[in-house]
Structure 1
């Protein structure tokens, strides 16, 4: 079973996304902030990370920067799940090493297919 780490500060979105993914057959872990998400990613080494960009404290850009700079977590596929769809933000996310970018509200099939695309 593939493990998905969701890093999202919004409780409702975090819980709903986790529930959808569990019903689709994934093992789901979640973090309510960037710092805890980074720590959890280093401890568990999930198959894929879904991360919001705009979060208090450590935002999604800092999360990916720290994880991609660590050899232990650098190869984990990283997908941004965010409300923003500005072209400049999408480009920055991809330049930083994200393999995907999905806007909220998202299509469940699109999210699941993207996860399957980037997980072994």
Structure 2
């Protein structure tokens, strides 16, 4: 079962994401901010991280940079799920190592499509 860490500071959004992913058969872990998210990523080593960008304590860019600097978490795929919608922000997120960039609001189907694309990477990375 694919284990997904959801890092989202808005409780209602986080709850909806977790519930939607669990209905689809994913094992989920959640964190209410970037700092907690990094700790949980290092502890649980999820197959995938879905991360907001605009968060207190440590934003999504900081989460991604921190994960990429640790040998235990450097290859965990990260999907940014964010309200930041400009091309410049999208390019920056991808340039620093995000595997996908999904803008809010999004449908469950849209998020699942991004997960399906990235989970091909999950399978490839686990075999290395």
Same fold by TM-score greater than 0.5: yes
Instruction: Give, in whole Å, the separation in 2 of the partners of 1:89 and 1:71.
Output: 26
Task: Give unpaired runs (5+ residues) of structure 2.
Answer: 124-128
User: Which residue does the alignment assign to 1:43?
Assistant: 43
Higher RCO (CA-CA < 8 Å; seq separation 6+): 1
SS in 1 for 2:105: coil
Instruction: Give, in whole Å, the separation in 1 of the partners of 2:118 and 2:80.
Output: 13
Tell me by how many angstroms 1:113 deviates: 2.0
Give 1:67-106 correspondences, 5 Å limit. Answer: 67-106=67-106
Tell me by how many angstroms 1:116 deviates: 2.1
Instruction: Give, in whole Å, the separation in 1 of the partners of 2:116 and 2:40.
Output: 21
Q: TM-score, normalised by structure 1?
A: 0.97
CA RMSD of aligned residues (A): 0.7
User: Which residue does the alignment assign to 1:10?
Assistant: 10
User: Which residue does the alignment assign to 1:109?
Assistant: 109
Q: TM-score, normalised by structure 2?
A: 0.91
Cα shift readout 1:36-69 (whole Å, capped 9, x = no counterpart): 1000000111010000000011100100000011
- Give the aligned length: 120
Task: Give unpaired runs (5+ residues) of structure 1.
Answer: none
Instruction: Give, in whole Å, the separation in 1 of the partners of 2:24 and 2:97.
Output: 26
Could you list the runs of 4 or more consecutive aligned residues of structure 1 that deviate by over 3 angstroms after TM superposition? none
- Tell whether 2:59 aligns with 1:62: no
User: Which residue does the alignment assign to 2:32?
Assistant: 32
